Amino acid sequence: MARLFGTDGIRGIVNDSLTPELTFRLGQAAALYFAARSGTPAKFLIGRDTRISGSMLTASLAAGICSVGGEAHLAGVMPTPAVAFLTKRHGYTAGVVISASHNPYPDNGIKFFDGDGFKLPDETEDEIEEYLRYEVPDTVRPTGAGIGRVYAQPAMLEEYMEHIVQTAPNRLDGLRIVTDTANGAASQVTPEVLRRLGAEVIPMANLPDGVNINDGCGSTHPEALAARVVAEGAHAGIANDGDADRCLLVDETGAVVDGDRILYLCARELKTEGKLAKDTVVATVMSNIGFGKSLAEAGITPVYTAVGDRYVLQRMRAEGYVLGGEQSGHVIFLDYNTTGDGVLTAVQVLSVLQRAGVSMSELASAMPTYPQLLRNVSVYDKQAWAENPFILAAISAGEEELGDDGRILVRASGTESLIRVMAEGADEAQIERIVADIVQVIERELGRPTE
């Protein structure tokens, strides 16, 4: 069996690679694993996004859990970070989210959180997969009163929303905000939280029907939000993805405020308040050069990890940092939650905006960005570039030309047969030429470029 768990749980097309039968067995495997580790029956909190397949997979997972004596507590539709927060607060053995995040609706996924609200490490996922490789023996299938139970937990979403409201350092009275919740898990949550804080809210993409999640909306498609913000004369727009673990903003002119700027603005505010641990922020190697330079000017140290919010979180936990995230909008405020939280992020940034008393565009302009270009190259061996002398020479030539005013990042995709070539620099025409030169060499040596 190939490894099921990827970089963010198990994902696949429902009724193709991700079936109810597999989900049932996964429920059994997870319940047996956690019961063996703790010596008591496992209790799971299960949340999902708005995909049409979510209720079916929830039922399959819960049945698997109960078939080996575990308990399944069903919270219904709620953001991924809500499951992480509530799992820890209520002492569940583990939390489970049924979602494929920003993917289209035919896909779905399953990801686990441990009892402390953190995503499972690879080693734990591998151990759960070991349980999947074997049929569950009759000796561990309880009968009678030993069979597990399913409990509905519809009130838990309110507890999460109130928690987010309590994190706000100030109210948002007077702000006019457009919210695009991607027809996903935060469709009711983000607008309601902002209203409770006093903002005037104009919701969009908040009427999920099971198949419209992420369909031309949300944080991966901010164009409609940008147009609506300008049309409504709003102060800003908020874009979540399907499971609401990320957040991007749009300023009053329709320009996107990405995760780099969000991190910069929040880091600067936390430092002023004396709440930024070690005056340090964790980001990934994809962050813009302007991000690091601006932080340094503010007396804040940026540290960088590989791409992926799990690597950001690992560094934060290992070294005691409280703020980190990705350019894509996964932002972790470790004082308030254990994973990226798009609703929490929206509240924190809008609180900064309210206190600043200036426009969102003026606030965001405090962090200048360098032109950044990313190209993908389809190859037959995505690891071979690192030992190819012609590719390395092309990269070295580009780095020498850019000097301290730019950088080049070449890396293999984690999920596809692609090499990603990214360059930044002060001169856009220059970085376009440098990237084109590197791509041409990679194409000649290993494959063909793809858009």
**Residues with active-site annotation:** 101
Q: Which residues pair with 108 in a beta bridge?
A: 12
CB-CB neighbours of 433 under 10 Å = 14
Six token digits for residue 421? 């070539």
**CA atoms of 46 and 324, how far apart (whole Å):** 26
Q: Which residues pair with 98 in a beta bridge?
A: 48, 110
Instruction: Give 193-198's long-range contacts (Cβ < 8 A, gap of 24+).
Output: 193/161, 193/164, 193/165, 193/343, 193/346, 193/347, 194/238, 194/346, 194/347, 194/350, 196/161, 196/165, 197/165, 197/168, 197/171, 197/172, 197/173, 197/347, 197/350, 198/171, 198/172, 198/173, 198/174
**CA atoms of 161 and 170, how far apart (whole Å):** 16
Alpha carbon 221 to chain centroid, angstroms: 15
What sign does the dihedral 343-119-266-254 (CA atoms) show? negative
R_g over Cα of the chain: 23
398 close to 434: Cβ distance less than 8 angstroms: yes
